[in-house]
């Protein structure tokens, strides 16, 4: 927005450009200051953080954890994580049973 204001001022050097630019800046500042926190629903919940701390405390470094939250588990607990795969090979199922 600021770039377009600079270009507009260079193209049309009239008084109304200054007034419109000022109004646009005020509108932009008000809009940004009243924005809701869209990221809040994506933030890690307290129960999940407690689980990641437990994983970090009880799982040795480098060991893989079975977790539905693979990226979060690695990011917060620093432990590799994998999904449970129900259709895995027969040799995998026999070792898990």
| Residues 9-24 pLDDT 10s | 676 666 777 777 788 8
| Residues 37-87 pLDDT 10s | 888 888 899 999 999 999 999 999 999 999 989 999 999 999 999 987 777
- Please tell me whether residues 19 and 53 are part of one structural domain: no
Q: Closest by alpha carbon to 53, among 66, 37, 72, 36?
A: 72
Residue 8 has pLDDT above 90, yes or no: no
* CA–CA gap between residue 25 and residue 35 (Å, rounded): 16
Q: Quote the domain boundaries for residue 6.
A: 2-33
Q: Closest by alpha carbon to 77, among 85, 69, 87?
A: 69
pLDDT computed for residue 90 by the predictor: 59
Number of continuous H segments (helices) and E segments (strands) in the chain: 5, 2
- Please tell me whether residues 90 and 73 are part of one structural domain: yes
- For the entire predicted model, the pTM comes to 0.53
CA distances from 51 to 8, 76, 90 (A): 54, 10, 30
- Please tell me whether residues 92 and 73 are part of one structural domain: yes
């Amino acid at each position: 927005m600021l770039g377009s204001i600079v270009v507009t001022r260079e193209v049309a050097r009239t008084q109304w450009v200054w007034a419109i630019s000022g109004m646009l800046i005020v509108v932009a500042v008000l809009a940004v200051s009243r924005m809701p926190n869209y990221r809040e629903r994506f933030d890690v919940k307290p129960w999940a953080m407690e689980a990641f701390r437990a994983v970090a405390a009880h799982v040795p470094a480098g060991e893989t954890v079975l977790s539905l939250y693979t990226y979060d588990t690695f990011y917060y607990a620093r432990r590799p994580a994998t999904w449970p795969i129900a259709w895995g090979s027969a040799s995998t199922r026999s070792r898990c049973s």
